[in-house]
Structure 1
């Protein structure tokens, strides 16, 4: 019997430790929904990777107060902004230690050299690490940071100055996003000497609350607490990400105690979870949008009539009922209604298959056409069941003569190929990163986003782009809001997407989990969590 028990224990070791009668309260197991694309926030935009690296391993100069979009100090203990809104001076925190791991031991603490190295990797094309991992910095480029920043200067070891070419209202909020995380220059120099530069994005060294230990692809990520964390050591000593793409399997693991917290519970499981006395479910309004992007660089989606026909063919209300089980509302704009400047006066494109057929006939496609639709391979708050939604979309489009082949890939490949514009139609979505409309309209639909790979419709409308770029340089919220509302009218007229849904965020966890705060920006943070 002892030998049999040992075999069971060994079988479970990949995701969690064997437990005696008393639960191990120092190890926290999180059932995540997918594998990260990398462990460096500079080179990814997906929430899965952000949870695995941005919220665990790294810090930025400024951060968002947990559960809010309020900007607070982090690696910079204070900052000032010049009267002309062009120069930002950051006073850096002293005494911050980089992680010590089995693959690197730092010999100095964080300072201004690390800030300059991290930002210049994305900003300066001649930087020795600029081309590492492909040299694509989707967030940095999609948000126009390269054109916005004039100079990044070290004033002294603990003071950095960033000068802009023009005022940028959301700049400080953008600085709190994970892509502006600070890496170790000393570690980068060490890897460079060993001719192992590519490891900078897969074997991370940061200053954050957890230290990376190991990653088994598509299986498990392991971390340990950073006991020297400058904001105080986490209460849990070991953190494990059990990678579990299937929502129903995540639920089973939660029920059997194999994990303590699950991301994106299936809407079909929510009532059962709420009725389980050993579990608890929390929810919050999501700052998100799920959408179907049509690649306007590919025929026939270069024709506005075809894009509107696709909009009219899709019965979004049925998706809310079948996919989200009512825990979402249909979308008509690229912004969620919880964000300022949302234009509620925009008239939603009606569900009207007959009118859709007429538009296709006008476009010379009376007999329809063949195309592909890429379905989301992971559960996300804005789309919890990509394959099922794809099947419903496929059936709806068949009614107007559009013959759709459903396609999917693993998550990292899906993102890489779609960023390169290989798709015809694509399911995707977005959870806001900083509470500013610019983070949706400029990143996802601006002309810069086409080259950066964040504009999946590949749509560049000069009038739309002019409005959102005007809004970026204003500080008056009312004036910015007016411009953003006009931009949403253009979006509705040109229809590069089918905006599908804005969903409610849910998290399910064991009843003894304390300290978890739901994030309106969609992430999961672990530094305040404990097991009671």
Structure 2
């Protein structure tokens, strides 16, 4: 299997505004404070927590990208890229375990009454060369990301900012001018890949300079990257002396290296591996819950799914428990046709859907869709896709629906299914629910895989972004989710765990933080017992 991109698909809010005290942080790829360090992440390691011990080298195995790898933090694409960037660089904000934005280099943020200007105060921090992190460095970094000649990952996330009008009010205050009211602007600060670099920085592969917890030592693309403790780190020096990222593309190589003592941390393990070793005392298995939404995308603008009765019937055909057990080998939990289970603003008050074949048949009959035949596009582009397609095909047959599974190329799957076909396997990594709305469900969203085009839904989103009161805005999000639950195009059947393994002497690895949040791959608070 090729290395997974950090969002596991090419389709990649803060409710508290005003001053926020410096927190353990959160990231589109990070977490809060790590377990074992007093944070909310969970268990502190194989043998519990204890007092952090300073020293030692931790070797972490990740799937990599070969000779084309780079340490440019604005080009993060793979999990390995993101983990290296997190060690060397910082963002203004990052995502907590519930995908709410938490401050990192930003000490506070405050909007005007119109929510179209935000003042961000920077904490006192320095880059690895001793120069201060300044407002000008922030603006340089964002303008670099937004360069129309480049394809940097965070470019689309920064789109709400008018970077020509934004300015430095003083060395540690940035005034961001926005193109429109954006109540969830802190999500922009936490965007994947929105790292802050020194002014004029460009030679990232030879000697990258960031403000992160580790300093650069060496980089061999496709092989390894070595970094060492930054004693001047604003959030406290890491416990480890050194951290080495080792590239091991095959899961078997990562597991065998962990079992053999060549590494202490192995990313991206399979449920089969987890079951084989969990609780056996040789290695520690860590499950990052709710890390990836698993779904089928129905195109709502074409037959047969342009009839909401057919979409509801498909919601009722799905046996979610069977799908999680079979396609995810039980490593996950059932979904409820909404993105973001466990995240901030998730509508957890809606009843859990269960299979109801009688009602599904009734709805299909009312829609004139008896003996329906559909093609389900899938691919081995993501774990569980082909298995889920086969399981759902059999479930649909019980409701009188004939599903033909069509397996496409993993190299072109996402582009092929964005506008083609009617039903497709779908997956998404963690992001705020607001980002899911804006990137995938608005009429002008460029990655609208379900072709959900409703002006009244767009208006609700704009209403939410113009609403300053947290409770009132959450109520609007609730209305949007109830609409999607009733007639949306995503049949969300599950949420997959992301699985990693550690040696028994590793402490401080967060349990419970989804992939793509701050606690994920956060090595500054890890130590070796």
TM-score scaled by length of structure 1: 0.72
Deviation at 1:75, TM superposition (A): 3.0
Aligned twin of 1:208: 212
Is the 8 Å Cα contact of residues 371 and 404 (structure 1) preserved in structure 2? yes
Q: Quickly say closer, same or farther: Cα 1:213–1:94, change in 2 above 3 A.
A: same
Q: 1:511 aligned to 504, 525, 529, which one?
A: 504
Aligned twin of 1:524: 521
Aligned twin of 1:464: 457
Aligned twin of 1:437: 433
CA distance, structure 1, for counterparts of residue 369 and residue 391 of structure 2: 25
Which segment drifts farther, 150-159 or 494-503?
150-159
CA distance, structure 1, for counterparts of residue 206 and residue 464 of structure 2: 37
Deviation at 1:215, TM superposition (A): 5.5
After TM superposition, the structure 1 = structure 2 runs for residues 11-410 of structure 1, keeping only pairs within 5 Å, are: 26-32=56-62, 35=65, 42=74, 48=79, 51-63=82-94, 73-82=103-112, 85-93=115-123, 96-97=126-127, 110-122=133-145, 129-133=147-151, 137-141=155-159, 145-146=160-161, 151-165=165-179, 167-188=181-202, 206-210=210-214, 211=216, 213-214=218-219, 216-217=221-222, 220-225=223-228, 227=230, 230-231=233-234, 232-234=236-238, 235-246=240-251, 250-283=254-287, 285-286=289-290, 289-296=293-300, 301-347=305-351, 351-352=355-356, 362=367, 366=371, 368-377=373-382, 379=383, 385-396=384-395, 400-409=401-410
Q: Quickly say closer, same or farther: Cα 1:424–1:71, change in 2 above 3 A.
A: closer
Q: Quickly say closer, same or farther: Cα 1:289–1:243, change in 2 above 3 A.
A: same
SS in 1 for 2:88: coil
Deviation at 1:369, TM superposition (A): 3.8
Is the 8 Å Cα contact of residues 60 and 178 (structure 1) preserved in structure 2? no
Higher helix share: 1
CA distance, structure 1, for counterparts of residue 426 and residue 408 of structure 2: 13
SS in 2 for 1:151: coil
Is the 8 Å Cα contact of residues 367 and 401 (structure 1) preserved in structure 2? yes
CA distance, structure 1, for counterparts of residue 232 and residue 499 of structure 2: 29
Aligned residues: 463
Structure 2, unaligned runs of 5 or more: 1-54
CA distance, structure 1, for counterparts of residue 153 and residue 331 of structure 2: 39
Structure 1, unaligned runs of 5 or more: 1-24, 100-106, 124-128, 192-199, 380-384
Report the aligned-residue RMSD.
4.0
Q: Quickly say closer, same or farther: Cα 1:386–1:339, change in 2 above 3 A.
A: same
Deviation at 1:130, TM superposition (A): 2.0
Which segment drifts farther, 461-470 or 281-290?
281-290
Is the 8 Å Cα contact of residues 340 and 433 (structure 2) preserved in structure 1? no
TM-score scaled by length of structure 2: 0.72
SS in 2 for 1:409: coil
Is the 8 Å Cα contact of residues 333 and 488 (structure 1) preserved in structure 2? no
Deviation at 1:512, TM superposition (A): 0.6
Is the 8 Å Cα contact of residues 339 and 492 (structure 2) preserved in structure 1? no
